Structure 1
Amino acid sequence: MSDYTPIPTVPNPLSAQQLAWYEQACARIDARRLQKLLFAVTDIHSPTGLARAASEFMVGHLGKVGFNSRYMPMTETSGNVFAERRGSGGGAAVMLYSPIDTHLELDEEERQWTGSKDEADMRPRAQIVDDWVYGLGASNPKAMVATLTEIATALVESGVPLMGDLLLGMGDGGMPVDISARQHSGMSNGVLHLLNRGAAADFAVVMKPWNWVYHEEPGMGWFKLRVHGTLGYAGVPRGTPGFRSSVVPAADVIQELEKWIVEYAERNTSGVVAPHGWISGIRSGNPERPAFPSAITEIFFDVRISPRTSPADVKAQFAAFVADLQRRRPDLVLDWEMYGSVPGGTTDEANWIVQSAKRGWEFIEGRPHGKPDLLGGQTDGAALRRYGVPTVRIGWPWPAQGATEPVAEGLGGMGATYIPDLLPCARKIMYVLIDTLTRKREEMGL
């Protein structure tokens, strides 16, 4: 359990003029326009490393609604969106950020392990049903792309005089994947590309599921644990000298590992982060040669990493687990490696952007923010924070309830969006923009 106690929200209500501007801007938020854009961007298939078409579409759209926008290529098939609307000067630069790539491709090979049965949220094409939009990534990340764009569009249309600069960033490579065939796209490579190429902001706002304000997020660690045996043959009896299965002992290792992951999460929970983890898969043998038991069974898994725990420390914790397991089970032959890591990131809870977001949340919800549900989901927000950009995460209720079409179990909701769920979050983010972009830098401690 976390001993986290939130600091009280610092009172700093909008002035009468700011409140008038806020209402003026919110009045321009158009749910139908948001839905239409969400349908359009969801209908452009954009798995990690293949988001060029979706990014170029958003660059064109943002140019039409009043932004200086440009496409920032990373490879032939991958690139980012960066758009800017400059204020009169003397204010802060605030970036609204979202990834634009989807976590799956859903080609025939992927359907073999995802269990997809062509549910509405697992199709790489969009569908509108009443107030719903369905399709791969329609909720995460495309709903964020569309909502942040609608907020920015409404603010521009409202004519509110801004001192600060409004930026929008949309990055490919935001999913927690590593696509080796596409120059290892994923693991926040897009947002890092943006930040290294001129997307400089004083503050950032990340929209992501769950109806809370978060000032920090976890990183992640990827591990492979190998159980060694010998190559075998199905025709020999058990007890044959020299043969040692790698597959059967792996079942015991999996149970031990599952117990360790649960204990790891409990031991490393702190702040608003509960660093959960799951065994993701097992790989062993050759299905074309089932008569020959494999000499190696490989178990791979992801554990999340608290902002107060380094990837190296997590690596050491896992090394201690393996050493202890070997002592208790000298019959096991094990080796392991950490093959991926992303550190967590945190922003001072007293920072202007976090406090502004909490004031906006409380303004809409009509109640104190309090202690949020503990967080295990990783986003590009951690990278923004590590690069020195104070960042806040604001969300909406997820998954959406009452879907009109069949959606997948487990991750059901990643591709199902109920438009009315997005609107309170849009108004909370608009509050942050009015609160921040209509002030001088000195008022925010810059």
Structure 2
Amino acid sequence: MTPDAIDPDITKLSGWQREWVKAARAEVDEDELALLCQAATDIPSPTGCERELAEYFRDVMTSAGLDSRLQSIDERQANLVTRVGTGRAGAQLLLLAPLDTAFAPGREDAPWLGERPREDFTLPAQRFGDKVVGLGAENPKAFASCALAAALAVHRCGVPLDGQLVVALVGGSMPVLGSELSSRRNSGMNVGTQFLVDHGQCSADLAIVLKPGYSVVHEEVGFAIFRVVVRGSVGYTGSRHKGHYTNAILAAARMIGRLEDWFAEYTARNSSGQVAPQGAITAIRAGDGTKPAFNPATCEFWVDLRVNPRTAVNDVAGQFEAIVAELRAAEPAVGVEVELVAGQAGSATPADSPVVTRLIRAWEDVEGRPHVPGKPGSGLSDGGVLRRHGIPTARIGLPPPEVPSPFEGFSMGVADLPAMRRLVDLLIGVVVDVTTRQRAELRELPASSRGEDR
């Protein structure tokens, strides 16, 4: 087949690049992709305990002839780094996806999932036609499987890379402050990606992070997590009418109701560009059901505020302190203390960066239409870590499935196989586009030339 015989609109790349894209896509084994995702879902990988899953993926990749190595963080946590190509003059592209699920199967996370979780929050995984259902089947197991499937396809068809493709599957991605499953308090909050770049496993020119949302995202929120302590006085139901009664739980409930209204104000004040930072009450703790006749002296609750890339974490803390001052004034009988327990700044990559323009080009190739920007988002990824280390980063996820998930509301546990195949095709397009170029050529090509042959 000659380049002239290929539809010139297939990717708007050079003729030979179009051939390589088509050849690599032909190497994608959809049954293998489905089995990879289901087997990965079956391996529990809550934050801090990703090593077993990393070892499984390593064995699959090495058996296919790829250079795939474990990067140990501790005895239970690890990253996996898989490389295709050895070129040094060409560009290095990083595909990054998490390994960890936010929740653990079983009783540990019953406060979040309920005593009888839905099928999309349980294991083992189940296959229903084109759906893989189970804890983490979509996020992160489908994303990791798609990244590896793209690497396998490029490797198998022998695309002559000038540069290198690096697939990094990282532990500790989820916004988790601690777990009974890990002895370390810093097992989450992007620790795996930070470890990856700090220990010499990533010097990419461009990076793509795989997380939910099927539009090209180049701006992402950070977060500010606050612990609020409301102090009242210990009390007894039988004597509340006889003296001083200051119920910290009741005061905290009133504050939470006011904050829920304020979150909408916060979002309106801090939205711009591709982000609409949200806020939520995420946990509450007070007393103990073993003493049901006594109200406790304190009630604690946690607040998660997302942070615009153009807003400092300290500024967000100031906004929160201002609303807390109003809450204090409305509840003079109780004390209110606030602590910032975790925070990361938002981050952005310029819209005309090569990683953004090339990812959009690959999206348009797969979809056959102009790229459609998504709604302003408030989700987190490891992209902030990469951007802080000077790596231009964009984000993409799975397309919406033609057959919707059977579960309403929040779910990370339904992977749609046709959608996964489309994402793999997209990734193959951008991998060929980037890694078959010299590094200097990639940097010099202006965004205005997107769509031109070289």
Other-structure match for 1:426: 424
Other-structure match for 2:134: 135
Other-structure match for 1:4: none
| DSSP-derived class of the 1:170 partner | strand
Q: Quick one: distance in 1 between partners of 2:318 and 2:140?
A: 33
- Judging changes above 3 Å, is the alpha-carbon distance between structure 1 residues 400 and 331 closer, same or farther for their aligned structure 2 residues? farther
Q: 2:310 aligns with which of 308, 314, 323?
A: 308
Query: TM-score normalized by structure 2?
Result: 0.91
| DSSP-derived class of the 2:59 partner | helix
Other-structure match for 2:320: 318
The answer to whether the 8 Å contact 2:246/2:334 transfers is: no
- Judging changes above 3 Å, is the alpha-carbon distance between structure 1 residues 370 and 139 closer, same or farther for their aligned structure 2 residues? closer
CA shift for structure 1 position 330: 3.4
Identity %: 37
Q: Quick one: distance in 2 between partners of 1:70 and 1:364?
A: 31
CA shift for structure 1 position 186: 0.5
Q: 1:229 aligns with which of 214, 221, 232?
A: 232
Other-structure match for 2:442: 444
Instruction: Kindly provide the CA deviation profile for residues 214-236 of structure 1, in whole angstroms up to 9, marking residues without a partner as x.
Output: 11211111111222111111111
Q: Quick one: distance in 1 between partners of 2:232 and 2:440?
A: 65
Supply the AA of the counterpart residue of 1:204: A
The answer to whether the 8 Å contact 1:209/1:398 transfers is: no
Instruction: Kindly provide the CA deviation profile for residues 371-390 of structure 1, in whole angstroms up to 9, marking residues without a partner as x.
Output: 32111110111211122111
- The equivalences for 1:217-296 within 5 A come to 217-238=220-241, 240-296=242-298
Other-structure match for 2:64: 65
CA shift for structure 1 position 87: 3.7
CA shift for structure 1 position 311: 1.3
Q: Quick one: distance in 2 between partners of 1:286 and 1:328?
A: 27
Which deviates the most, 207-216 or 166-175? Answer: 207-216
Instruction: Kindly provide the CA deviation profile for residues 213-268 of structure 1, in whole angstroms up to 9, marking residues without a partner as x.
Output: 11121111111122211111111133x43331111122211111111222111111
Query: Are positions 1:380 and 2:378 aligned together?
Result: no
The answer to whether the 8 Å contact 1:45/1:125 transfers is: no
- Judging changes above 3 Å, is the alpha-carbon distance between structure 1 residues 85 and 371 closer, same or farther for their aligned structure 2 residues? closer
| DSSP-derived class of the 2:371 partner | coil
| DSSP-derived class of the 2:204 partner | coil
- The equivalences for 1:139-178 within 5 A come to 139-178=138-177
- Judging changes above 3 Å, is the alpha-carbon distance between structure 1 residues 177 and 62 closer, same or farther for their aligned structure 2 residues? same
Instruction: Kindly provide the CA deviation profile for residues 329-368 of structure 1, in whole angstroms up to 9, marking residues without a partner as x.
Output: 4344211111111221111111111100011111222222
- The equivalences for 1:354-433 within 5 A come to 354-398=356-400, 401-403=403-405, 407=407, 409-412=408-411, 414-433=412-431
The answer to whether the 8 Å contact 1:400/1:416 transfers is: no
The answer to whether the 8 Å contact 2:66/2:84 transfers is: yes
The answer to whether the 8 Å contact 2:44/2:105 transfers is: no
The answer to whether the 8 Å contact 1:232/1:243 transfers is: yes
Give structure 2 stretches of 5+ with no counterpart: 1-10, 445-454
| DSSP-derived class of the 2:124 partner | coil
Instruction: Kindly provide the CA deviation profile for residues 70-125 of structure 1, in whole angstroms up to 9, marking residues without a partner as x.
Output: 11111111111012223444101111110101111132242244225343211132
| DSSP-derived class of the 1:213 partner | coil
Q: Quick one: distance in 2 between partners of 1:83 and 1:277?
A: 36
The answer to whether the 8 Å contact 1:216/1:382 transfers is: no
Q: Quick one: distance in 2 between partners of 1:289 and 1:347?
A: 53
Q: Quick one: distance in 2 between partners of 1:399 and 1:304?
A: 28
| DSSP-derived class of the 2:209 partner | strand
Other-structure match for 2:211: 208
Q: Quick one: distance in 1 between partners of 2:27 and 2:281?
A: 46
Other-structure match for 2:89: 90
Q: Quick one: distance in 2 between partners of 1:180 and 1:36?
A: 30
The answer to whether the 8 Å contact 1:220/1:305 transfers is: yes
CA shift for structure 1 position 187: 0.4
| DSSP-derived class of the 1:108 partner | coil
Supply the AA of the counterpart residue of 1:336: V
Q: Quick one: distance in 2 between partners of 1:378 and 1:402?
A: 23
Supply the AA of the counterpart residue of 1:191: T
Give structure 1 stretches of 5+ with no counterpart: 1-11
For these two proteins, the number of residue pairs brought into alignment is 430
Other-structure match for 2:346: 344
Q: Quick one: distance in 2 between partners of 1:104 and 1:410?
A: 16
Other-structure match for 1:41: 40
Q: Quick one: distance in 2 between partners of 1:378 and 1:333?
A: 33
| DSSP-derived class of the 1:166 partner | strand
Query: TM-score normalized by structure 1?
Result: 0.92
Q: Quick one: distance in 1 between partners of 2:349 and 2:35?
A: 34
Instruction: Kindly provide the CA deviation profile for residues 111-168 of structure 1, in whole angstroms up to 9, marking residues without a partner as x.
Output: 2442253432111322222222111101000000101100110011111111011101
Instruction: Kindly provide the CA deviation profile for residues 154-194 of structure 1, in whole angstroms up to 9, marking residues without a partner as x.
Output: 01111111101110101110111112542121100011111
Supply the AA of the counterpart residue of 2:428: M
Q: Quick one: distance in 2 between partners of 1:102 and 1:326?
A: 37
Q: Quick one: distance in 1 between partners of 2:372 and 2:133?
A: 33
Supply the AA of the counterpart residue of 2:443: G
Which deviates the most, 31-40 or 244-253? Answer: 244-253
Q: Quick one: distance in 1 between partners of 2:77 and 2:382?
A: 17
Q: Quick one: distance in 2 between partners of 1:241 and 1:401?
A: 61
Which deviates the most, 373-382 or 143-152? Answer: 373-382
The answer to whether the 8 Å contact 1:49/1:101 transfers is: yes
| DSSP-derived class of the 1:258 partner | helix
Supply the AA of the counterpart residue of 1:189: V
